[in-house]
Structure 1
């Protein structure tokens, strides 16, 4: 028996059987299957309009035209179809209310139990670059009216606004013989959110048209600015936010839009997804800019490393623990990730990986032996996916990036009761940025193709690094990233120390370290870095020495300095101008030959003179790349 709840007027019924449904959809995905279920198995009468009615009849389903049902023809080029008392009366009437029932009888209004609709594709029409008049014609009037009528009367009527609800509605009717009150409330809430979002999109677009026409200003303070409504659809909960005490936490999509990733394995966390978004954009842009397979290794929303597929030298092979033959046989994707991971393998411990191309078995096998939380890529071979799904006891996070995802031009962020908005940093870094304004001696002719590639790699990397930031690149890979420092020279010093460590990992004494059997890979990585740094405590030294067959002789400062004198061909890129020459002075200590920076400082001339003094080639890109 249906459970009945008392209402102010009439009865609020838990289970409502569906006897008549009104269908009017622009997106016809799945509509034939749903209507076949409703009519064939549940004997629901179908009302419809225009193209939807044709689609149903073409599928062999009987349906009644709304114009036949109302006795009023569609008119005004289709602007008026469903705006009629027989439609809205049938939707809004309170069942069991004597006055409503009498009005329906006198006006020959039948009950409509369900409305299935989606609205004219206004946003898609605007995005297509349509003319003003065509955009106006794609403002839905009848759809939102039926939506609101049905949702308001959700005690008795069911509003269905998207194909993703069709399976749920079928299951509910199958299980209960009708729709439940809980389902109708949930769908009504979504319908009102859709209505708000739809009207907000129209208002925002209209204001932009006025602004571009000089008729008003969207930034005026007289109250004429449009209200921006962003409606979110919860997708899945997260265990917690940045920290365990930050609950609840979750991921939502914009209503009517997809998430940019599909979760293929594991349960991603808050920081995992922030890393994945930034890492994916980085490698996607590297791929587009260089034409080479690209990879990145992210930690805490900044790259520990990033690289494109450039062959390894024999010395690099030794430093990265791979034989030259094995390295030569790596696929480009695997090679790119091997380089990215070895930019700073200590910081990459527990990274989130991203690659620009389909993940193959080679790439998966490299990831298998590393300590890593997850990966995002545009696809996976079956063998690679099996390998990755078995990692971390089945908890390794595998995300597939959606190739057709297009983010909004404007991004929003809520912080402490304030909502920030800005245009996405959609600048595309290209070769032209590196060659259009070379201000040092020799000009653009002093730039090699390899140098231009490394300038692009380093600049795209700092675009996705927490500011202030600088990055050093060589041979298509980042060899030092300095993120989030308040002083630019401190960024250079931080990243420069990583460059020195990267170089010194190739020192003969480092390559010759004799580890005991059974010392784990990451322990070997850490031990080499600590050998280079050399600043052990007494207690630390005891544990460090215990890893070796023979205790190594120290790597002296003199030996380090002599080895670093050979460093050359390194590129540095900065996300903002160098305010003083001190950053260039320090960069000269780690083999920098090429500099990319936006320029625009009152000290540009001094910085240029400094580059000339060291024989560096500097390009002013005129693009600041702060990232917060």
Structure 2
């Protein structure tokens, strides 16, 4: 298949199935190279999250990493309000996507959507009012492809994933005249990889959030960390050369997510018909410029029950100290750093349950 263009408009690009049928079929539009990468990684992520945790999953992808990921769940008024919805009236698939988008709604503007179950009429209708470039799903209920195909003057991308597709054991990439081949990561994520350092059993909610975090990291550009709470990411830090910079970046996003729930932010007035992205922009401007520093600190200190996952070993305790500032109560990391004892001590000082997985999840 000829793609619309490569990583940049001046580059031609093609996509070809290696053996047999392709893992995705294009039902509408013409994807670019990056669109296709977002669709392939996003589909794998939500399929794995759904398999792990048994709930519909959604991801909001931008530039080959997720901006947000979530399972279906309750929508509060901060998540549902910008779209003119009542959280109690929203179905599971739509709730999963809106929760995913709510992690970092600024970055999700113009995203690629991935969902783990067939698109229903409710989600298709919700997407018609949002700025996004395309969607990948394992199927579409009757009429939904037509609804989605009308977006962007018919250019909206609609891709259907083959849920039964089995990927090849070996993956190949060609770079600058050199062919690189590696085995596809064979590790199956499950609760069995979560081994608490101090032998204390994790609460079920923390266990599930850590598993979701690990699934997210598997498809996020390294170095990467993420903060997860109640089945949704609050902040994802991707592609930084320093792990503590990932921790700071993702923590800042988690803090913003929580500050959007401050009573003063929730009570901001909006005229009828204000677009969702304009409402969100006003909230962020208020947080940055009008909410006092003391009040910010007081409110941020109330965030709790957050899980934190890292795709690689935490090399220094500074990651723990930073994570603790954002309500983290449990951490999952591979372990094996020469300073792992210091990381353990930092977790004890902050009252954080430390889990060692023994599994590195770098993604490039």
Deviation of residue 288 (structure 1)?
Answer: 0.6
Q: Is the 8 A contact 1:576 1:624 kept in 2?
A: yes
Task: Supply the distance in 2 between the matched residues of 1:323 and 1:344 (Cα, whole angstroms).
Answer: 15
Deviation per CA, 1:286-323: give whole Å up to 9, x if none.
011001110000000000000111223xxx32343179
Q: Which residue among 588, 591, 599 is the counterpart of 2:327?
A: 591
SS in 1 for 2:196: coil
Q: Which runs of 5+ in 1 are unaligned?
A: 1-235, 535-553
SS in 2 for 1:259: coil
Residue aligning to 1:377: 137
Residue aligning to 2:196: 438
SS in 1 for 2:166: coil
The structure in which a higher percent of residues are helix is 1
Deviation of residue 524 (structure 1)?
Answer: 1.5
TM-score by length of 2: 0.97
Deviation of residue 325 (structure 1)?
Answer: 8.2
Deviation of residue 266 (structure 1)?
Answer: 1.1
Residue aligning to 1:568: 304
Residue aligning to 1:245: 10
Deviation per CA, 1:396-417: give whole Å up to 9, x if none.
1000001221111000000111
Answer yes or no: is 1:282 the counterpart of 2:45: yes
SS in 1 for 2:286: helix
Q: Which residue among 552, 556, 560 is the counterpart of 2:292?
A: 556
Task: Supply the distance in 1 between the matched residues of 2:146 and 2:2 (Cα, whole angstroms).
Answer: 26
Deviation of residue 503 (structure 1)?
Answer: 0.2
TM-score by length of 1: 0.57
Deviation per CA, 1:27-74: give whole Å up to 9, x if none.
xxxxxxxxxxxxxxxxxxxxxxxxxxxxxxxxxxxxxxxxxxxxxxxx
Task: Supply the distance in 2 between the matched residues of 1:311 and 1:411 (Cα, whole angstroms).
Answer: 38
Q: Which residue among 108, 128, 141 is the counterpart of 1:348?
A: 108
Deviation per CA, 1:217-246: give whole Å up to 9, x if none.
xxxxxxxxxxxxxxxxxxx21232111121
User: Cα 1:279–1:252, aligned 2, differ >3 Å: closer, same or farther?
Assistant: same
Q: Is the 8 A contact 1:333 1:355 kept in 2?
A: yes
Answer yes or no: is 1:601 the counterpart of 2:337: yes
Q: Which residue among 238, 252, 256 is the counterpart of 1:501?
A: 256
Deviation of residue 334 (structure 1)?
Answer: 1.3
Q: Is the 8 A contact 1:469 1:481 kept in 2?
A: yes
Task: Supply the distance in 1 between the matched residues of 2:77 and 2:320 (Cα, whole angstroms).
Answer: 30
Residue aligning to 1:73: none
Q: Which residue among 165, 177, 180 is the counterpart of 1:420?
A: 180
What is the root-mean-square deviation in Å for CA atoms of aligned residues?
Answer: 1.5
Residue aligning to 1:270: 33
Q: Which residue among 332, 346, 351 is the counterpart of 1:610?
A: 346
SS in 2 for 1:526: helix
Answer yes or no: is 1:398 the counterpart of 2:158: yes
Deviation of residue 518 (structure 1)?
Answer: 4.5
User: Cα 1:626–1:347, aligned 2, differ >3 Å: closer, same or farther?
Assistant: same
Q: Is the 8 A contact 1:320 1:342 kept in 2?
A: no
Q: Which residue among 262, 269, 274 is the counterpart of 1:514?
A: 269
Answer yes or no: is 1:258 the counterpart of 2:21: yes
Q: Is the 8 A contact 2:330 2:353 kept in 1?
A: yes
Task: Supply the distance in 1 between the matched residues of 2:161 and 2:71 (Cα, whole angstroms).
Answer: 19
Answer yes or no: is 1:624 the counterpart of 2:360: yes
Q: Which has the higher contact order (CA 8 A, sep 6+)?
A: 2
Residue aligning to 1:124: none
Residue aligning to 1:299: 62
Number of aligned residues: 364
Q: Which residue among 313, 321, 341 is the counterpart of 1:577?
A: 313
Task: Supply the distance in 1 between the matched residues of 2:329 and 2:111 (Cα, whole angstroms).
Answer: 30
Residue aligning to 2:204: 449
Answer yes or no: is 1:367 the counterpart of 2:123: no
User: Cα 1:509–1:427, aligned 2, differ >3 Å: closer, same or farther?
Assistant: same
Q: Which runs of 5+ in 2 are unaligned?
A: none
User: Cα 1:421–1:323, aligned 2, differ >3 Å: closer, same or farther?
Assistant: closer
Deviation of residue 386 (structure 1)?
Answer: 2.4
